[in-house]
Amino acid sequence: MIRLFLDIKDLSVDLEEFHLQNINLQIEEGDYQVLIGPTGSGKSVLLETIAGFYKPYHGKILLEGKNITSLNPEDRGISIVYQDYVLFPHMNVFENIAYGLKKKNNGNESSLESSVYEMAEKLKIDHLLKRDTRTLSGGEMQRTAIARSLIVEPKLLLMDEPFSAVDVNTHAHLTTLIKNVIEEYQTTCIHVTHDFNDVYNLAERVAVMKDGKILQQGTLHDVFSRPSDNFVAKFVGVHNVFQGEIIGHDKSILKIKINHDIIIHSSDVFEHYSSKKTDVMVAIRPESIIFSNEPFISSVRNQLKGVVRDMFEVGHTVWIEVQVGDVTFRGVLTPNSCESLGIKIGKEIYLSFKSLNVNLMEYHNDDYST
């Protein structure tokens, strides 16, 4: 049996105006765990509780099998990086990075200097070590803050929106740089973010939070392709979420009716399906939908004909809304694909998607929204 590196059990925190409620989170050594959720869902509170800044009234936090729930922050072996850097303005870059290491290496100046230069070089700020931190750019300040956190070799690194205060180009550069350094040091990390590019580029595991609770946790693929409920589906960008009714099955393929008259098929292994419980939620990611001017002659089970009702550019993609009966399906194309298909508002178009891309979720009366 593998011992979990971080095991949070039934953790509850009362901050009067906000509560964390029965949080359970399990992380293995070396994992890069990302926490996502709307503003005010409790991501930062959870991070700071793990760090020791808040004391839970229920539950416990185990790190490497040791109960650290009551330990002071400085005794946990945990580092935390915030979005606003929190550098010491009266110290230069070298002194900021070296700050936490001075206590750890018992005054060994030679070792200290070597370690600081090595870390600074990895984060590409070795040329800035004598600089006043107040003269640094946002990206340089954040790399300094991360260097200061990593150099003490923490058991666990916590990062709260670490790239949100930098520009897009710097953000992309920092993401790549931090990923490489954390992999090299094999640091276990929990990262709070609102930026889905961080999720796609960094996360090995994802947890979705709402109202002080973790709604779903798992691998990036599981959470984004197999959301557990309507809120998670919408939040991670599934967009096509419908109420459905299972009306039959053919071996491993379920037959589902949505909006009274549209039939689609799913090969999802739906554990809640039984002859007495046929109401489900259906989720289809927009990138799983294939558009064509003619019906496919293939093994793709789900083929529908509709009319383009809207289209709009989002970044380097074009979002297409297709009306099929009373149901709106949303898909995404590149501008070139959109042009080659001649897609325009009012055009009839075929859309197809595989049965394995039709995810089923348990239906709740308060869970349905189009």
> What is the reported pLDDT for 277?
62
Question: What's the full length of the chain, in residues?
Answer: 370
> What is the reported pLDDT for 369?
42
Q: What is the DSSP string of 127-171?
A: GGTTSBGGGS-HHHHHHHHHHHHHTT--SEEEEESTTTTS-HHHH
- Highest-scoring range by mean pLDDT, 45-54, 192-201, 312-321: 45-54
- 58-62, 291-295, 298-302: segment of lowest average pLDDT: 298-302
> What is the reported pLDDT for 2?
55
Q: What are phi and psi of 320, to 5 degrees?
A: -120, 130
Average pLDDT over residues 174-181: 89
User: Which architecture, in CATH terms, is 6-225?
Assistant: 3-Layer(aba) Sandwich (3.40)
Residue 170, token pair as written in the block: 């710097």
Pairing state of beta strands 359-362 and 66-67?
unpaired
Global confidence as pTM? 0.86
**In the chain, where are the structural domains located?**
6-225, 230-362
Taking CA atoms, 13 is separated from 4, 59, 157, in Å, by 22, 9, 21
Helix (H) or strand (E) holding 66: strand 66-67
Domains 6-225 and 230-362 share a fold: no
Pairing state of beta strands 317-324 and 302-314?
antiparallel
Cβ neighbours of residue 99 closer than 8 Å, sequence gap 6 or more = 88, 91, 148
Q: Are 163 and 195 in contact (CB under 8 A)?
A: yes
> What is the reported pLDDT for 4?
84
Q: Has residue 370 got a pLDDT over 50?
A: no
Q: Has residue 270 got a pLDDT over 70?
A: no
230-362 has which CATH code?
2.40.50.100
- 165-179, 282-296, 299-313: segment of lowest average pLDDT: 165-179
User: How confident is the model over 22-67, as pLDDT tens digits?
Assistant: 999 999 999 999 999 999 999 999 999 999 999 999 999 999 999 9
User: How confident is the model over 136-170, as pLDDT tens digits?
Assistant: 999 999 999 999 999 999 999 999 999 888 888 88
> What is the reported pLDDT for 73?
95
